[in-house]
Amino acid sequence: MLRARLIQSAIVLILGPTLLYALYLLLIAPAQYHSEGTFAVRGAQAGVGDALSALGIVSPTSNSADAKVVENYIRSDAMVVALRERYGFNEAYDKFSLDPTARLAPTASLRSAKQFWRRKVEVVSDPATSGATVHVAAYTAEDAQRLTQGVLQLSEELVNSLPRRALDDLIAASDREILAKRQVYETARDALTAYQGRQFSGVGAGTPAQQAISLVGNIETQLAQKRADLATARQTFQPGAPQLTGMEREILALEAERDRAVSRAMTAPGERAASTEIEAQSLLLDYQTAQQHYQSAVMAADQARRQQVIDRKYVISYVPPQRAQSSDWWPRLANILAVLIGASLLWGIGALVYSIIRDHVE
């Protein structure tokens, strides 16, 4: 009698769940294809190692913080919205299936879509490289690869936009400072020019021209250095890299300032003199001071643009997404064995407890 009950319970509690799960995998649940990509967040300028890194301990850096931001972004509503708009998210998961939990309707709410997406994406971080590996599951190999590529592209756009606003504001403020100092400089120059046109002074008429030419020389020196740096960088970075783009913008800005300085040198005052040396020297001092302030503003703007290149971040996808060659249909059948073993263990424990209680009662 007891033996018959044990056999019946074994059939119900062991074979029952195993057969149900096998039928679910074989007939209902659709097979999935998996694609993965590994990326790391890097800056344009590598950081200097500290005492912790010398001991083999990875210390927190801005790159690792940005990588954590990217991980949260991959699982967020914003990622789902962007994938829907640009990478065929709805089309990838709007597939007919007997399993109602395997399909996401295009009209599904953003909350439902995010919960569905979190079941299809996995992000495994690596603190040592400030990077992560993204696994995306879909019902075709093409969809899995496309969505993984979309995740990496959108993550790179996010990383690039993190410091952009603050740096753009800094550059805009520097440009406004240049404009203000230029106006003061031109006002002082015009005042000195007008004075020399009316009076005879000990101040040489060619002084403003010499000052303007000196400014051109300083800018030319900076241009020569930056062109040399650009030529060196082109041997290291690919065309279109953020480092090259930033340096090219710096060179264009300096060339524009040089052209304006050359134009001012060409329109310097003529050979007239001033009547009083004190007033002439005062005007000259104002002119020289304004010119120095203007040149300092130009250098500050150049430093802001250089900082933009230094602070720029980008995503390196050193393991790009590949198209899956097979689905997970066969590998997941191993889960049937796991269910069988788990059910057997639970049944064995239950049978043992039942036997102990029955013996105790008798």
Measured from the Cβ of residue 252, the count of other Cβ atoms closer than 10 Å reads 10
Total length of the chain: 362
Nearest to 155 by CA among 237, 82, 92: 82
CA distance linking residue 251 with residue 230, whole number of Å: 9
Q: Are 298 and 185 in contact (CB under 8 A)?
A: no
pLDDT of residue 314: 66
- What pLDDT band is residue 319 in, cutting at 50, 70 and 90? confident
Is residue 80 predicted with pLDDT exceeding 70? Answer: yes
| Amino acid present at 312 | R
Q: Can you tell me whether residue 136 is helix, strand or coil?
A: strand
pLDDT of residue 255: 81
Express each pLDDT in 166-177 by its tens digit: 666 667 777 787
Highest mean pLDDT among 286-290, 309-313, 341-345: 341-345
Q: Which residue intervals of the chain bear CATH 3.30.1890? A: 32-163+317-347
Cβ within 8 Å of residue 176, ≥6 positions away: none
- What tokens appear for 83 in the block? 């994938």
DSSP string for 137-204: EESSHHHHHHHHHHHHHHHHHHHHHTTHHHHHHHHHHHHHHHHHHHHHHHHHHHHHHHHHHHS--SS-
pLDDT of residue 272: 38
Highest mean pLDDT among 23-32, 99-108, 195-204: 99-108
- What pLDDT band is residue 139 in, cutting at 50, 70 and 90? very high
Is residue 340 predicted with pLDDT exceeding 70? Answer: yes
CA distance linking residue 257 with residue 295, whole number of Å: 10
Cα dihedral sign, 51-53-58-62: positive
Kindly report the pTM of this predicted structure. 0.55
200: left (phi over 0), alpha (psi -120 to 50) or beta: beta
Q: Which architecture characterizes domain 32-163+317-347 according to CATH?
A: 2-Layer Sandwich (3.30)
Is residue 214 predicted with pLDDT exceeding 50? Answer: yes
Of 317 and 124, the one with more pLDDT: 124
